[in-house]
């Protein structure tokens, strides 16, 4: 029942329309999220969770509320916003629908108090469940992308930085790290924000080198830490459980420590000496072989890896590589990116393919009594 409080009288039909509209919004938003959980992530428990939430909302969507609907006279049906007309990438699409569901549930919670208190209480609890699902799904989404990424571009200063990165993204690149040692913080924030938008436009991950504060400032997907940077545990406290944290390693001890501390991925190298790490000795292909046998998270061989020596790195066991100059200084970043991705994918297929049946032992031809060679 609709209650009357003080001098203010609530219109029962108006409250019914508000509840009806927001039940629709919540159910539609959850269904949009559910489709990605089902067909994109193949996550049974998240799909079932979405379905349960939708069915719970359906029990509140009574004929009484539906009968109050008056779409022709609703002044809000013609209202729109430019951001509603486009979705820049999958992350944007999912985030928009989580926000839509959360807002609708808040409305149901508040106006439900004028209709049925048990509905208001249930809507409040459901809103907290959606917050938890958002954290789980958005974090899972990042890590799924990380698992699927085989090529990692680490940027270096370039007069056409954005153009080079976009050309690589057009070639299929899905993981970019912004590395800048000399710019001031204001410039880094401006460049970082633009690179993040560019990466997300192509559904790629954007990582910031060294700086946790910068990663937070530009809302990056994660941070890459060197051995002398902030301890991984502190970075995790600041970034939360769903952003990606990578760690550079150059020997088995550093690898073991990084895995124990919870790195989401590790850099392995430098495979060869590189001007990016002046004075640092090469870890060599032997370390690549060690990591191939012992790593439990995604890892990227790095250090002067280029199109000439890529096959050696793949033969040592690498499925993923990180590059700087090979793309940043390439005449055709798109073509070079496609070459790296194709070669890495081929190498991985070869490793996963079942061994070919061995031919029978070779024997010399035998002359039989009929005079023919068999």
Six-digit token string for 230: 């902030």
Same domain, residue pair 167 and 123: no
Same domain, residue pair 199 and 335: yes
CATH, residue 129: 1.20.1260
Q: At what angle do helices 12-35 and 44-60 cross, to 10 degrees?
A: 170
Same domain, residue pair 185 and 307: yes
What is d(CA 178, CA 261) in angstroms, rounded to the nearest whole number? 23
Six-digit token string for 262: 């919870």
Number of domains in the chain: 2
pLDDT at 21: 95
Contact (Cβ atoms closer than 8 angstroms) between residue 123 and residue 105: yes
Same domain, residue pair 204 and 344: yes
**CB atoms inside a 10 Å sphere around CB 85:** 7
**CB atoms inside a 10 Å sphere around CB 100:** 19
pLDDT tens-digit profile of 205-224? 999 999 999 999 999 999 99
The CA-based angle 108-110-65, given to 5 degrees, is 40
Domain-embedded: residue 182: yes
Active site residues per annotation: 179, 248, 277
pLDDT tens-digit profile of 94-136? 989 999 999 999 999 999 999 999 999 999 999 999 998 887 7
Same domain, residue pair 181 and 326: yes
Tell me the pLDDT band of 80, cut-offs 50, 70 and 90: low
Same domain, residue pair 158 and 300: yes
pLDDT at 338: 98
Tell me the pLDDT band of 6, cut-offs 50, 70 and 90: very low
268 phi, psi to nearest 5 deg: -125, 110
Full residue range of the structural domain in which residue 98 is found: 7-70+85-143
Average pLDDT, stretch 242-265? 96
Average pLDDT, stretch 59-79? 77
Residue where a domain stops, chosen among 119, 143, 167 = 143
Tell me the pLDDT band of 252, cut-offs 50, 70 and 90: very high
Contact (Cβ atoms closer than 8 angstroms) between residue 69 and residue 17: yes
pLDDT tens-digit profile of 315-334? 999 999 999 999 999 999 99
**How many residues belong to the chain?**
374
Task: Please name every residue paired with 223 in a beta bridge, in sequence order, or none if there are none.
Answer: 208, 245
Domain-embedded: residue 50: yes
Domain-embedded: residue 364: no
% of residues, the chain, pLDDT over 70: 87
pLDDT at 301: 98
DSSP 254-266: HHHHHHHHT-SEE
* 3-state DSSP of 80-142: CCHHHHCCCCHHHHHHHHHHHHHHHHHHHHHHHCCCCHHHHHHHHHHHHHHHHHHHHHHHHHH
Six-digit token string for 227: 């051995």
Task: Please name every residue paired with 246 in a beta bridge, in sequence order, or none if there are none.
Answer: 224, 265
Six-digit token string for 257: 């420590």
Residue where a domain stops, chosen among 143, 162, 182 = 143
End-to-end CA distance of the chain: 97
């Amino acid at each position: 029942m609709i209650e009357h409080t003080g001098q203010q009288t609530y219109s029962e039909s108006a409250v019914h329309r508000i509840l009806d509209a927001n039940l629709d919004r919540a159910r539609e938003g959850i269904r949009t999220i559910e489709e990605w959980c089902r067909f994109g992530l193949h996550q049974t428990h998240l799909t079932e969770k979405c379905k349960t939430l939708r069915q719970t909302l359906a029990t509140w969507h009574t004929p009484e509320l539906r009968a109050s609907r008056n779409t022709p006279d609703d002044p809000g049906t013609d209202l729109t916003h430019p951001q509603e007309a486009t979705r820049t990438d999958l992350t944007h699409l999912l985030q928009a629908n989580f926000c839509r569901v959360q807002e609708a549930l808040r409305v149901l919670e508040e106006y439900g108090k004028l209709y049925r208190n048990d509905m208001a209480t249930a809507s409040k609890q459901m809103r907290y469940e959606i917050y938890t699902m958002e954290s789980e799904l958005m974090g899972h989404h990042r890590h799924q992308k990380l698992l699927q990424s085989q090529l990692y571009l680490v940027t270096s200063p370039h007069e056409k930085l954005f153009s080079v990165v976009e050309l690589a993204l057009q070639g299929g690149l899905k993981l970019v790290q912004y590395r800048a040692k000399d710019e001031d913080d204001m410039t880094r924030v401006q460049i970082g924000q633009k690179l993040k938008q560019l990466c997300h436009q192509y559904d790629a991950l954007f990582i910031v080198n060294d700086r946790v504060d910068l990663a937070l400032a530009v809302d990056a997907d994660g941070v890459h830490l060197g051995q002398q940077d902030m301890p991984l545990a502190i970075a995790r406290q600041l970034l939360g459980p769903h952003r990606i944290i990578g760690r550079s390693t150059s020997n088995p001890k550093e690898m073991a420590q990084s895995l124990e501390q919870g790195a989401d991925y590790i850099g392995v190298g430098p495979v060869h000496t590189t001007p990016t790490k002046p004075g640092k000795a090469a870890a060599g292909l032997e370390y690549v072989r060690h990591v191939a046998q012992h790593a439990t998270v995604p890892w990227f061989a790095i250090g002067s890896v280029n199109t000439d020596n890529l096959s050696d790195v793949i033969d040592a066991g690498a499925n993923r590589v990180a590059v700087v100059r090979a793309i940043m200084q390439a005449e055709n970043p798109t073509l070079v990116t496609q070459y790296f991705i194709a070669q890495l994918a081929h190498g991985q297929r070869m490793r996963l393919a079942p061994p070919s049946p061995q031919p029978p032992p070779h024997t010399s031809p035998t002359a039989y009594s009929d005079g023919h060679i068999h």
